[in-house]
Structure 1
Amino acid sequence: MKKAIQFGAGNIGRGFIGALLSNANYEVTFADVNQQVVDKINEEKKYTVHILDKETSQQEITNIKALNVNDPNLSECICDAEIITTAVGPSILSKIAPVIADGIKLRCKRGIKTNLNIIACENAIYASLILKYEIIKYLQVEEFEYLETSVGFPNCSVDRIVPPSTINNGNILDVVVESFYEWNVEKDGFKGVLPEIPGMNLTDNLLAYIERKLFTLNTGHALTAYLGYLKGYKTIEESINDEKIRMIVEGAMTESGEGLINKYGFDPEKHHNYIQKILNRFKNPHLKDDVSRVAREPLRKLGKNDRLIKPLVTARQYGAETPNLILGICAVLSYQNTSDNQSIKLRQMIEKLGIERTLQEISEISPEDNILNDVVERYTKFAV
């Protein structure tokens, strides 16, 4: 049986990537620091993915085992694996890099000729390449040459809402997911024969998919959360069912879509349908997607390459009007959550520097850019 390693046995690792690999007849080894989850996987040898949407279904995931990330036997597993995937968060890639490097060193030492492909399934652009650079830090010249010859690092974009949720059956492994998912993987990044994994879309134009997701799902998700938080809603479903919020969110995604259509040549009708599909995902009553969870870390979300500023800048580059994206940024600047450290810092910056300089510093927008003036003008009369 083909063998795969999934770093990260959390909800996304189990409910999305690990499940697809198992369904593609891989024996999946989950690598995680949570010993309770590791032990439970080895005890049960299966778990259930609960797909909750208009129609509900269940998938039993088998052919699985687990190791602690610090287990020395993980290097042996890497020697046997054809594919490694991650779902640990971008900031954790540097921490698992030495572990993966140890496995690559052992493959090199043993002269293993079969190819290994490593895909970082994170919400970060070119995450696999980031992981590669972290791994290289631990390799000698001969091992680096082996990696360049035998190990592929295809980048990808991933999309599936897997909210924190507990199934009331006592099994900590079972996980709730929505029915929709996308896993777009860079075809040219693979070494050797392309794997056949149902649910994996191999593409020659990954950046278009990455920005489509960022400008549509991530933009809409964030704005639904911030606008909903300001009106006291608890879940994304409650927020998007507010007609005024829905109109703003749909308007913002339409504005960002104008940039995408012009930049990548997307079919306008198909992109409109994609926006409607995203809006319907937000309305899923089963997911209980918490507004506070989605809204957290506003400083990161206001970064120049993230889900609010980049769609706005891109849309304007192609001459689009952006009143809803501007309004959405005002909602972020109005967000106050004392349990979110970035929200506290954002408020402190606004009190010290004012709106214009705060946004300029966080988003690196040029002082001459009329985006700043538009945000300041709209902020002074902002109301949801």
Structure 2
Amino acid sequence: MKKAVQFGAGNIGRGFIGALLSQSGYQVVFADVAEAIIDKINEDKTYTVHVMDVDCKDQKIENISGVNSTKPEAIDEIASADLVTTAVGLVILPRIAPTIAQAIEKRMENGVKEPMNMIACENAIRGTSQLKKAVYENLSDAGKAYADEYVGFADCAVDRIVPPVKSENFIDVVVEEYFEWDVEKSGLKGEFPQIKGMTLVDDLMAYIERKLFTLNTGHCITAYLGNLRGIPTIDKAIADEEIFGIVSAAMKESGDGLIKKYGFDPEKHAAYIKKIISRFKNPYLQDDVTRVGREPLRKLSPTDRLIKPMMTAAGYGLPVDHLVIGAGAALHYDNPNDKQSVELQEKIGAQGVRAAAAEITGLTDEGLLDAIVAEYEKLN
């Protein structure tokens, strides 16, 4: 049986990536710092994924174990793995890189010639490339040469909504039916992994930006507008007629930019948007607007889900009025429990909205900045 180490035993790790690996015949070792979760996984050796959608069903996940990712045992597990995946968040990737590097050095010392592949399943553009850079910074010259030959680093795009719903058993997970996992073939070494639900693709950026400019763009605008109106969850926010209209229009604007850039079929992309919005309406997920809206500085950055699609569409001379509303709403996000939200509001308080927006978004287009500030003021 092939073995996979899944860094991150949180909801995405258990409800999406780890579950698919187990269902594809892998022995899955979850690596995490959360002792309670790791202990429970080792005690039960199984958990349940509750698929809550139009059709509800339960999936039993087996062939699993857990290891503390900070302990030497984690190095041993990685050194004997065929595949390493992550779902930990971009900021954590550099922290797990030394452990992965030590495992690669151990494989080299043991004379292992079978390839091992790494796939960082993060909600970001080219997360695996960022992991590779951090891993190589921790490798010896010999280790780098070995990794060049025997360790694959494949970028991917992932999409599944896994809200923090509490179950009777705290390692069980609630997920939606829909998921997408697109992996760039060129980064893999040896035989391609045979994983249920994984799609191997050549042009990954088209899939990354399709997801980022559609799901992530619409999701966060729904969250920020819902938060402004005191609506607690995504399904209730998208049920608001005015919010639905703004979000739908923003997703069409971002989609028009994608169609120009990648030549997507307009009818198929319109159907994709329609499917995404239907996912927002899923009443079973109860996805908090505070979860979806968290880390607004990252979401307002030049390469992320609000500004990048705005600049892409604007670059083709296309309308961006509703994307601008989304950016204005994001600037209002005020959550004392979110470090980035606190920093955002401090910047606005100290510099004013326009200067803060210019710094955070990286925008130099005066007209777009004026429009964002105007929408910000209207949303007051």
TM-score under structure 2 normalisation? 0.97
1:246 equivalent among 244, 247, 255: 244
Structure 1, unpaired ranges of 5+: none
Residue 58 of structure 1: how far off its partner (Å)? 0.8
Residue 79 of structure 1: how far off its partner (Å)? 2.7
Deviations 1:259-293 (A, max 9, x none): 00000011101100110111010011111100111
Residue 346 of structure 1: how far off its partner (Å)? 2.2
User: Aligned AA for 1:341?
Assistant: K
Q: How many residues align?
A: 380
Q: How does 1:22-61 map to 2 (within 5 A)?
A: 22-61=22-61
Corresponding residue of 2:350: 352
Answering whether residue 351 of structure 2 is matched by residue 379 of structure 1, we say: no
2:235 equivalent among 237, 244, 250: 237
Give distance in 1, aligned partners of 2:220 and 2:103: 38
Deviations 1:71-124 (A, max 9, x none): 322232223211110111111111111111111111000110100000011112
Residue 142 of structure 1: how far off its partner (Å)? 1.2
Give distance in 2, aligned partners of 1:72 and 1:60: 29
Give distance in 1, aligned partners of 2:342 and 2:129: 33
Instruction: Give the 3 Å change call, closer, same or farther, for CA 268–111 of structure 1 in structure 2.
Output: same
Give distance in 1, aligned partners of 2:172 and 2:349: 45
RMSD: 1.2
Give distance in 2, aligned partners of 1:344 and 1:61: 39
Corresponding residue of 1:369: 366
Residue 164 of structure 1: how far off its partner (Å)? 0.7
Give distance in 2, aligned partners of 1:144 and 1:165: 42
Corresponding residue of 1:118: 118
Greater shift after overlay, 297-306 or 9-18? 297-306
1:220 equivalent among 218, 221, 230: 218
User: Aligned AA for 1:30?
Assistant: F
Corresponding residue of 1:109: 109
Give distance in 1, aligned partners of 2:102 and 2:179: 32
Residue 380 of structure 1: how far off its partner (Å)? 3.5
Corresponding residue of 1:198: 196
Q: How does 1:16-165 map to 2 (within 5 A)?
A: 16-165=16-165
Greater shift after overlay, 76-85 or 93-102? 76-85
Give distance in 2, aligned partners of 1:343 and 1:70: 30
Residue 349 of structure 1: how far off its partner (Å)? 2.3
Corresponding residue of 1:269: 267
**Secondary structure of 2:48's partner?**
strand
Instruction: Give the 3 Å change call, closer, same or farther, for CA 338–75 of structure 1 in structure 2.
Output: closer
Deviations 1:332-369 (A, max 9, x none): 12233333332233223223322221111111111x53
Give distance in 2, aligned partners of 1:381 and 1:163: 31
Give distance in 2, aligned partners of 1:139 and 1:228: 46
TM-score under structure 1 normalisation? 0.96
Deviations 1:9-35 (A, max 9, x none): 111101000011011101111111111
User: Aligned AA for 2:195?
Assistant: I
Q: How does 1:232-311 map to 2 (within 5 A)?
A: 232-311=230-309
Give distance in 1, aligned partners of 2:346 and 2:22: 47
Give distance in 2, aligned partners of 1:190 and 1:122: 17
Give distance in 1, aligned partners of 2:130 and 2:333: 31
Corresponding residue of 1:189: 187
Q: Give the % identical residues.
A: 53
